[in-house]
Structure 1
C-alpha cells in the first residue's frame, strides 16, 4: 500500500484549485467540526460484484489493474468531496481534477513503488499509459521512481494476494489528509459470481457515509456495465 512523502512536489499537470465559498457551503460546519474540534477519518470496506467486469476484461484483452484504476478515478473526479484540498491557511478548496497514484509490486525485492499518471476520461489512452508505467517500474528499487508525487493525486493500492472484509490505515496526522485512499483486494468466487473487496478511507470533514455509498454505487454501475472497456 502506498504511503506519501511528507511534502509533495508541484511538478506535473497541477490542476486548478477552486476556493470554497464558506458563506454558502452547506458543509462548512461539518468541515470545521471534523477538521478542528474532532479531527476524524474513517474507512469503509465494501464488496463489489465484478462478474461482468471480469468477463469483459477477457473479451477486450484489457489489463485488470489499469481498468480498476480508471474506473475509480472516473468516479472520484465526479464529486467535489473526493477532490478536496486546503490552502496554506487551512481554507477549503476543490481541485479541478485529481490524478491517481498507484502501487507497482517488485516480486524479487518484495517491495513496491508508488507512481502516478494524469487522469484521462478517455479509457484507451489512459489504459496504455498505465500499462507502460507498470512495465517500466516493476523492477524499481526506489519507492518514488518518478520523484515526489504532485499535490493533486489520490492513492490506490492493490492487494491481489488477499481477499479481505475489513481494512484500515492508521495514519499519523491523517486528519491533515483530505483526498481518498482506496485499497483493492483479491477477487473471490461465490455462488457463480465474482466479488472484489474495496476499502475507501476518507476524512470525515469532507465526506460522510452518504458520499462513500454514492461512490460505491457509481463504481458498481461502471463495473456492471463495462462497455467502456471496448
Structure 2
C-alpha cells in the first residue's frame, strides 16, 4: 500500500519551468525539497484540464490522456501570452472568430548563391535552403506563437516539419530539431529522409498534434504563383505552413517560389515580410 503523497505524485506531471498550473488540481505538495502531507486527490481532479493559467507554481497535470500530455516536451518551456494586456488583443479576438482566420503570401526569393554554395560543398540544395528557412523562422518572434488549450503561447525554439517524397509517388512526414549548425541539422534531416524511404504511409509520429514546428512542403516538379493548403478549421489550428516549388531561371538568376501561410490573429503581413527578408538574407550569405 502506498501513502497519499506517493499516490498523488504518481498522478501528476511536474514541469520544470514553474510558469503554469492546472486550475483544477488544488492539493498542495509544497516545494520539491520539503515533505508535506498532501490530501488524496479525487478521481475527477485527475482528469486532464483544458486550460492552463499563469502562476509561480509548477505545472500539475494528470498523465492520463489528452494531446498536450502526450507531447510534454512541447510545453516544457513555452510561455503563455497575457492576451488581456497584449497589443494584439483586438487583432487576435477579431480574426479568431472567423471560420478561416488564415492568410498567406506567395512570392519568390533569389536562390542563386545558395544553390551554388550547396553544389560546391556537395550539400542537398533542399537541405540547405530548408535550414536557411528555419533560421529565418526562428528570428521572427511572431512565428513562434501558437494556440494551445485556448491559450496563446510562445515557444522558445521552432523545429522543422516537412514532407518527403518516395519513388512510388507517396510521401511521408519528417520532424527535425532545429539547430543553427547546418551539419547537425542536416545529419538529423538525412536520417529522417531515410526513415521515410524505408516506410509506408504518412508516418505521422504525432505530427498532427505537434505545435513547436513549422510545416514545410516542397513541390520540386513545378513552379507556382498561387497555392491553397488543406486546413483543419479548428480554433487551435495555428501552425504556419511554408511551401517551396521548383526554381526558375530568369536573366541568369535562379528564383525559388515560396508560399507562407499563418493565423492572422497571431501574425500580420509585416511579420511574414520579416521572415521573407531574413530568408533572402540567409540565402545570400
TM-score by length of 1: 0.86
Alignment partners' CA distance in 1, 2:74 and 2:266: 24
- In the alignment, which of 231, 249, 255 is matched to residue 171 of structure 1? 231
Structure 1 vs Structure 2 CA RMSD? 2.0
- In the alignment, which of 246, 253, 257 is matched to residue 197 of structure 1? 257
Is structure 2 residue 191 aligned with structure 1 residue 129? no
Q: Closer, same or farther in 2 for the Cα pair 1:75/1:169, shift >3 Å?
A: same
| 1:29-44 matches, cutoff 5 A | 29-36=90-97, 39-44=100-105
How far the C-alpha of 1:23 sits from its partner, in A, is 4.2
Whether the 8 Å CA contact 1:43–1:167 is kept in 2: the answer is no
Alignment partners' CA distance in 2, 1:78 and 1:34: 24
Q: Closer, same or farther in 2 for the Cα pair 1:37/1:137, shift >3 Å?
A: closer
Q: From the CA coordinates, give the structure whose radius of gyration is larger.
A: 2
How far the C-alpha of 1:15 sits from its partner, in A, is 4.8
Which blocks of at least 5 consecutive residues in structure 1 are unaligned?
Answer: 1-6, 226-230
- In the alignment, which of 44, 56, 59 is matched to residue 117 of structure 2? 56
- Considering Cα pairs closer than 8 Å and 6+ residues apart, tell me whether 1 or 2 has the greater RCO: 1
How far the C-alpha of 1:52 sits from its partner, in A, is 0.5
TM-score by length of 2: 0.70
Alignment partners' CA distance in 2, 1:163 and 1:139: 28
Partner in structure 2 of residue 114 of structure 1: 173
- In the alignment, which of 272, 275, 284 is matched to residue 212 of structure 1? 272
Alignment partners' CA distance in 2, 1:172 and 1:126: 29
Alignment partners' CA distance in 1, 2:79 and 2:104: 26
Which blocks of at least 5 consecutive residues in structure 2 are unaligned?
Answer: 1-66
Partner SS for 2:139? coil
Runs of 4 or more consecutive aligned structure 1 residues displaced over 4 Å after TM superposition = 11-15
